[in-house]
Amino acid sequence: MGKKILIVDDEPNIVISLEFLMRKEGFEVAVAGDGEEALAKVASFAPDLVLLDVMMPKKSGFEVCEALRADPDKSELKIVMLTAKGRDTEVAKGLAIGANAYVTKPFSTKDLVARVKTMLEGA
Q: In a 10 Å sphere around its CB, with 0-12 CB exposed, 13-18 middle and 19+ buried, how is residue 53 labelled? A: buried
Domain 4-121: which CATH number of 3.40.50.2300, 3.40.50.300, 3.30.70.260, 3.40.50.920: 3.40.50.2300
Closest Cα partner for 42 from 4, 72, 86? Answer: 4
Mean pLDDT of each 10-residue bin along the chain, 123 residues long: 91 94 96 97 97 93 96 93 80 89 87 92 67
Per-residue CA distances from 26 to 60, 65, 109, 119, 121 (Å) = 28, 25, 15, 15, 13
Domain ranges of the chain: 4-121
| Residues 122, 57: Cα–Cα separation, whole Å | 32
pLDDT of residue 40: 97
| Residues 74, 106: Cα–Cα separation, whole Å | 28
Q: What is the DSSP letter of 73?
A: G
pLDDT of residue 93: 87
pLDDT of residue 1: 56
Assessment of whether the complete model's pTM goes beyond 0.75: yes
pLDDT of residue 86: 65
pLDDT of residue 4: 97
